[in-house]
């Protein structure tokens, strides 16, 4: 089992911690804006190329690893992360302001994701083998890994969407080495998890280039990674601006590569009259809505930023209940000073829009960067006429949109941008109208919920964390769940091959026991 060493304050390149030569950064405690030690040196362009070159070299051997070895490798990373839980949580709390309880849960989610992908690798289903032994030719199809993947750490999940998070886990499971760009807001957390991955690489005798961890200036190093010919795919979670910049560079390379970017969403919630039929239902719904907005200071990609509420007595009562809930809230520390400032700009911009007003405002929290949650109110016609009302505000803020008829919900669903989620609250009495709305929501979002709230994403086989643009850059994929492995693979077919030359997944002996479709 791994034991962390002191923080190195530099990049992990081809198995070695190498000081950078391109300046330095430090983390900051967002509760006080105090600088955290150690400082982290930033990789130069030449050092970054060394990392991508190592990943390209490692691909040739790592792609051929057996299911047992690859699964054991993923499980070892998970074991090492669990062994470092206390140190990881302590450092991550300093760098993000998130509570130890939240971070402890995120450590468990991170290691559980890795173990889930280990199970996926052993099952072999991701090979998607099809065999046709036709009368004229013998055709055998499987999926193979793309090559080295560049992964960018997310600001709001320093573990589950970071160093060994979902993108890294799914890429490694697919057989792709990873060059990971650490988020500059939590460099120490990234290094601790990087040590856990390095320990697993060394334990299993893998090529050191299988995992590289680099620090650099966000825009500069991001563009270099996206343009590097060794990189064959990109996983990104962050702003629309950042995702679009990576997409532009990756798509305009001499040989374009896919970018799987999760960017922005407002995750609309459609409340039908039946959900507000009595005071108990309305009170429970208002409390759950407020909790979904304010949890983690609203810094979740699935936060419900738009909630459609019917006009009338029941709707008015619900909005008043929400206002009372929000008025009693206290702000939580946001991840960085920059994110808190961006939240304030978004709130100020929405407040000055015609037809929009603040319904309730919570109290600021103690310390720095902890603004009070805000809930706005407007109407559906204003939303339809003003695209600003659709813009994501990353943090504890949401907009209640009042509507007069179910037909207006259809109009809204047709004009809203692509979303990660869409949520329905109704009673059985509303099912006729709900049935008509569902096909529109299928075109709008990657995950549709009935009841509940979209914050909190289950990690499993059937989940989709993705959606039409601009929620993501590729609506055919997911960044959470075992289907995520398919982002970093492509199909290939073998025609009329001698049995001796067939790769194991498509060979007749099938020693890996891969599930297969034969002569369907």
Please confirm, yes or no, whether 301 is among the known catalytic residues. yes
Q: Which residues contact 304 (CB under 8 A, 6 or more apart)?
A: 266, 267, 268, 269, 289, 292, 293, 398, 423, 453, 454, 455
Q: How far apart are CA 505 and CA 508, in angstroms?
A: 9
Three-state DSSP state, 389: helix
Give the full edge-to-edge strand order of the sheet including 374-379: 357-361, 374-379, 397-403, 306-310, 269-271, 419-425, 445-450
Q: Strand pairing of 397-403 and 374-379?
A: parallel
Catalytic residue among 95, 106, 176, 301: 301
Integer Cα distance of 124 and 130 in angstroms: 13
Round to whole Å and give the CA distance between 505 and 486. 16
Backbone angles phi, psi at 367, to 5 degrees: 80, -165
The single residue listed with the structure tokens 């090979």 is 127
What phi, psi does 120 have (nearest 5°)? -65, -45
Torsion sign, CA atoms 146, 147, 152, 153: positive
Catalytic residue among 191, 262, 392, 433: 262
Would you state the structure tokens that stand for residue 420, as one six-digit string?
């990660």
Cα 141 from chain centre: 30
One DSSP character per residue, 418-469 reads PEEEEEEE--GGGHHHHHHHHHHHHHHEEEEEESS-S-S---SSS-----ST
CB-facing half-sphere around the CA of 184: CA atoms within 13 A: 21
CB distance 470 to 264 below 8 Å = yes
φ, ψ for residue 365, nearest 5 deg: -85, 175
Q: Which residues are catalytic?
A: 262, 301
């Amino acid at each position: 089992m791994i034991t962390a060493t002191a923080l190195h304050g530099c990049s992990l390149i081809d198995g070695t911690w190498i000081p950078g030569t391109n300046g330095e950064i430090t983390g900051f405690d967002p509760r006080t804006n105090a600088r955290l030690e150690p400082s982290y040196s930033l990789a130069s362009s030449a050092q970054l190329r060394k990392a991508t070159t190592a990943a390209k070299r490692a691909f040739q051997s790592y792609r051929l690893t057996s299911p047992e070895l690859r699964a054991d490798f993923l499980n070892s990373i998970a074991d090492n992360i669990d062994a470092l839980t206390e140190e990881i949580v302590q450092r991550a709390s300093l760098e993000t302001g998130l509570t130890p309880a939240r971070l402890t849960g995120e450590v468990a989610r991170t290691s559980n994701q890795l173990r889930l992908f280990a199970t996926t690798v052993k099952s072999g289903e991701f090979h998607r083998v099809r065999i046709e032994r036709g009368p004229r030719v013998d055709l055998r199809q499987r999926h193979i890994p793309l090559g080295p993947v560049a992964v960018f750490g997310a600001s709001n999940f320093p573990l589950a969407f970071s160093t060994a998070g979902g993108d890294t886990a799914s890429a490694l499971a697919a057989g792709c080495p990873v060059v990971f760009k650490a988020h500059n807001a939590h460099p120490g957390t990234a290094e601790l998890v990087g040590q856990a991955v390095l320990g697993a690489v060394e334990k299993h005798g893998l090529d050191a280039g299988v995992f590289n961890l680099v620090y650099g200036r966000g825009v500069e190093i991001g563009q270099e990674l996206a343009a590097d010919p060794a990189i064959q795919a990109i996983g990104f979670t962050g702003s629309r601006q950042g995702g679009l910049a990576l997409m532009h560079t990756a798509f305009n390379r001499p040989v374009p590569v896919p970018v799987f970017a999760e960017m922005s969403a407002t995750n609309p919630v459609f409340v039908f009259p039946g959900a507000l039929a009595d005071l108990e239902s309305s009170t429970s719904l208002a409390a759950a809505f407020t909790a979904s907005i304010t949890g983690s200071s609203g810094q979740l990609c699935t936060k419900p930023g738009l909630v459609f509420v019917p006009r009338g007595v029941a709707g008015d009562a619900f909005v008043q209940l929400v206002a009372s809930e929000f008025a009693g809230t206290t702000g939580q520390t946001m991840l960085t000073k920059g994110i808190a400032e961006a939240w304030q700009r978004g709130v100020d911009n929405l407040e000055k829009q015609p037809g929009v007003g603040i319904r309730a405002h919570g109290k600021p929290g103690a310390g720095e960067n902890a603004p009070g949650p805000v809930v706005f109110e407007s109407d559906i016609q204003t939303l339809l006429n003003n695209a600003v009302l659709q813009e994501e505000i990353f943090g504890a803020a949401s907009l209640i949109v009042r509507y007069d008829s179910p037909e207006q919900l259809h109009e809204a669903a047709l004009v809203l941008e692509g979303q990660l989620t869409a949520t329905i609250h109704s009673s059985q009495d509303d099912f006729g109208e709900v049935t008509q709305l569902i096909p529109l929501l299928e075109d709008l979002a990657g995950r549709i919920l009935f009841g509940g709230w979209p914050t909190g994403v289950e990690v499993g086989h059937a989940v989709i964390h993705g959606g039409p643009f601009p929620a993501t850059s590729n609506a055919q994929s997911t960044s959470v769940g075992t289907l995520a492995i398919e982002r970093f693979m492509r199909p290939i077919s073998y025609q009329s091959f001698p049995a001796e030359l067939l790769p194991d997944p498509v060979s007749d002996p099938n020693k890996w026991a891969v599930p297969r479709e034969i002569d369907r």
